[in-house]
């Protein structure tokens, strides 16, 4: 069989009822269309750990660069401090998003 006869072979696009990976209707809750395991979990814990590490490292680097720039080092330390502060802000926002998604 080549899968084009509508019997659910490997060549079809997988519409509704065939178990394929075709488009799904919004709000449709049925059988999972792909090969995702039933025990699949979201990687929110790993993402939270990485965001905390990024927040701490970026905040420390921003403080270090700002102290260096304030002490007379005008070799781009203010720019580096600003960039590190921006990374820290993004990591903090990501932690807020993770906390909201982790709630049941």
Q: How far apart are CA 67 and CA 55, in angstroms?
A: 18
pLDDT (0 to 100) of residue 32: 62
pTM, two decimals, is: 0.60
pLDDT (0 to 100) of residue 103: 79
Query: Could you report the per-residue pLDDT of 7-52, keeping only the tens digit for each?
Result: 555 554 545 555 555 565 565 566 667 777 777 777 889 999 999 9
CA distances from 46 to 21, 49, 51, 56, 93 (A): 28, 5, 9, 16, 16
- Does 66 score more than 60 pLDDT? yes
């Amino acid at each position: 069989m080549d899968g084009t006869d509508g019997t659910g072979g490997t060549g079809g696009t997988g519409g509704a009822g065939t178990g394929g990976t075709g488009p799904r209707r919004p709000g449709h809750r049925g059988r999972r269309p792909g090969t995702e395991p039933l025990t699949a979990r979201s990687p929110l814990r790993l993402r939270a750990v990485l965001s905390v590490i990024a927040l701490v490292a970026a905040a420390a680097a921003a403080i270090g660069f700002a102290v260096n720039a304030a002490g007379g080092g005008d070799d781009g330390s203010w720019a580096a401090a600003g960039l590190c502060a921006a990374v820290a802000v993004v990591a903090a926002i990501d932690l807020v998003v993770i906390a909201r998604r982790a709630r049941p």
